[in-house]
Amino acid sequence: MNASPDSSGYFRSPLLMSKSDTALLMIDLQERLAPVIDQSELIVENVERLFLTAQMFDMPILGTEQYPKGLGPTVEPLKSMLPPLPEKLTFSACGVEGLLKDLAKRAIHKLLLVGVEAHVCVQQTALDLIAAGFDVYIAVDAVGSRFPLEKDIALRRMESAGAVLTTTEATMFEWCERAGGEHFKELSRLVRKKHAE
């Protein structure tokens, strides 16, 4: 796994996500499921900040809804930030036909997963994506389960299978890559907003 230098000679590790090779995939953050998830308000807040950061850098944002007739639509404010989402019955988002088909055209081979539940739909999606050859990252403070033990074991299992664990804030700065400019100012505002609340 080798890095190529940019025009200044700077080598950027291929282990890092970048705005050019990464997409964000939100899994099943829905109205009837979110309220029973441990730390759901924090999870929704972090997913919103990741959405805003991804939009800033024109990165693909994908999402799914698990059986919306029973679990309801995606929670606000996330629902308003997305086009209509495909519904699924398979727990893995990889069961949604065509969900990932356009990523190859944009040379996307890394996916950051957020959503619920960590030990069911997020975990099964992560394992399927790894098997399909994607590099999978999990924002640990933007995924959740009803019970902390379920989330803990799921994170351990996904990491042992090859997923990379990270956080919302680490991801935001990783996508930004450098200080300076309007994007950095906006990102800094989003980071400060979290700490001010």
pLDDT at position 197 over 60: no
Measured CA to CA, the distance from residue 134 to residue 63 in angstroms comes to 17
pLDDT at position 73 over 60: yes
> Please, which residues bridge with residue 62 across strands?
25
Domain ranges of the chain: 22-192
Fold of 22-192: Rossmann fold (3.40.50)
Residues 14-68 pLDDT 10s: 999 999 999 999 999 999 999 999 999 999 999 999 999 999 999 999 999 999 9
CB-hemisphere CA count at 13 Å for 178? Answer: 4
pLDDT at 6: 60
Q: How confident is the model at residue 2 (pLDDT cuts 50, 70, 90)?
A: low
**Residue recorded with tokens 């988002």:** 93
Q: CB–CB of 134/111 below 8 Å?
A: yes
DSSP state at residue 9: -
DSSP codes joined into one string, 131-147: HTT-EEEEEEEEEE-SS
Mean pLDDT throughout 106-115? Answer: 96
Please, what is the average pLDDT of the chain?
92
DSSP codes joined into one string, 67-125: SHHHH-SBPTTTGGGSPPPPEESSSSGGGSTTTTTTTGGGT--EEEEEEE-IIIIIHHH
Q: How confident is the model at residue 5 (pLDDT cuts 50, 70, 90)?
A: low
Measured CA to CA, the distance from residue 55 to residue 191 in angstroms comes to 15
Measured CA to CA, the distance from residue 88 to residue 65 in angstroms comes to 6
pLDDT at 19: 93
Q: CB–CB of 156/184 below 8 Å?
A: no
More confident residue, 194 or 93: 93
pLDDT at 196: 42
Q: What percent of the chain has pLDDT over 90?
A: 80
**Residue recorded with tokens 């939100």:** 26
**Cβ atoms within 10 Å of 39's Cβ, excluding its own:** 14
Q: CB–CB of 82/63 below 8 Å?
A: yes
Sign, CA torsion 48/67/120/125: negative
DSSP state at residue 14: T
Q: Is the peptide bond before 117 cis (omega within 30 degrees of 0)?
A: yes
Q: How large is the greatest C-alpha to C-alpha distance in the chain, in angstroms? A: 54
Q: What percent of the chain has pLDDT over 70?
A: 94
